[in-house]
Amino acid sequence: MSVQARLKRYLLVLERIQHRPTFAHLRRHLGEHGLQVSARTLQRDIEQIRVELGLEILYDRTNNCYHLPDGKDDRETVLSLLERAVMGGLLGAHGGLIRQAAPYVRIEHHGRLQGLQHWGPLLRAIRERREVKVTYRRFQTGKEKVIPMRPYLLKEYCGRWYALGLADGYDQPISLGLDRMLAVQVSSRRFAKTDHLRVEAFYEPVIGVDTSPGEAERIVLRFTPLQGKYAKALPLHPSQHVLNDDTEGLVVSLHVMPNFELRQQLLGLGAAVQVLEPRWLAKEIRAEHKRAAELR
């Protein structure tokens, strides 16, 4: 069977696993999507998901069901990348099929093709822990600069990719947009893996990549009842925690840096969201709405 069919089976299994299915339910789920497989093939898929994707599927003998272990891992990222691989494979490698699909598909364009040629070299550098020299042009100045960087992570936000890592001359981890990279040179110099957790922890409370506030704090928001449904389905940040949910609306707390990206999201929701804490941020959002209303 093709690689694409195997990836599709992996995706369907992982999606169904969230509902703690039995082995029979998993086979039936695959069959409902046109993938009739033997018990042996499904058992092999479950094992290969652990080997290839690093996600261990556990069997609960008491309840006769399968599930993923609790705890933090890369499952959301793995699922997202797996979905993209399967979606891309639906059109195959034939350019004519892509052209046939184009009139019937609408995709939000955010310039996501810019800089993607650097994705491969950067990923290689991260995996092999090699320093890179990035020729970079900032939006603010328009000037080119060569930045020696130790990349640890790649992050996507709003259709744009960023490399996160450490660089000499910077006290804190930095982010560089791939769309502003003019060139990436992977060097032979290696760096230690130990700072990976430092970089990951630094960006964990960040929506987007703007870290200018420097510190994360508790943000409390109230959504209208309708917007609250969207906020629960698509949280603003993984730290989002529901404090209250009733006919008056949804109240949540976040532990994030109150950065540019957060303010942009709040302003974009208009009257559908209210900042309850901190008071300074509520005042700032109100003032920004007032300035926008006064524009002619």
Q: Residue 30: CB partners within 8 Å, gap ≥ 6?
A: 9, 12, 13, 36, 37, 42
Q: Which fold has domain 116-203?
A: SH3 type barrels. (2.30.30)
The predicted structure's pLDDT at residue 54: 82
Q: Is residue 290 scored above 70 in pLDDT?
A: yes
Overall pTM surpassing 0.75 (yes/no): no
On whether the CB atoms of residues 121 and 132 are closer than 8 A, the answer is yes
The predicted structure's pLDDT at residue 53: 83
What CATH architecture does domain 217-294 belong to? 2-Layer Sandwich (3.30)
Tallying the residues shown for the chain, one arrives at 296
Q: What is the CATH number assigned to the segment(s) 3-89?
A: 1.10.10
The predicted structure's pLDDT at residue 195: 87
The domain ranges of the chain are 3-89, 116-203, 217-294
On whether the CB atoms of residues 228 and 170 are closer than 8 A, the answer is no
Question: Which residue has tokens 């532990």?
Answer: 255
- Going by their DSSP bridges, the two strands 249-256 and 160-167 should be labelled as unpaired
d(CA 89, CA 81): 12
On whether the CB atoms of residues 181 and 115 are closer than 8 A, the answer is yes
The predicted structure's pLDDT at residue 49: 87
Q: Residue 235: CB partners within 8 Å, gap ≥ 6?
A: 252
Q: Is residue 229 scored above 90 in pLDDT?
A: yes
d(CA 86, CA 88): 5
**pLDDT of 64-98, one tens digit each?**
999 988 866 677 777 777 777 776 666 555 555 65
Number of C-beta neighbours around residue 219 at 10 A? 24
- Going by their DSSP bridges, the two strands 217-223 and 249-256 should be labelled as antiparallel
Torsion angle of C-alpha atoms 84, 90, 94, 95, degrees rounded to 10: -60
Question: Which residue has tokens 């550098």?
Answer: 125
The predicted structure's pLDDT at residue 163: 94
On whether the CB atoms of residues 187 and 140 are closer than 8 A, the answer is no
Q: Give me the residues paired with residue 137 across strands.
A: 144
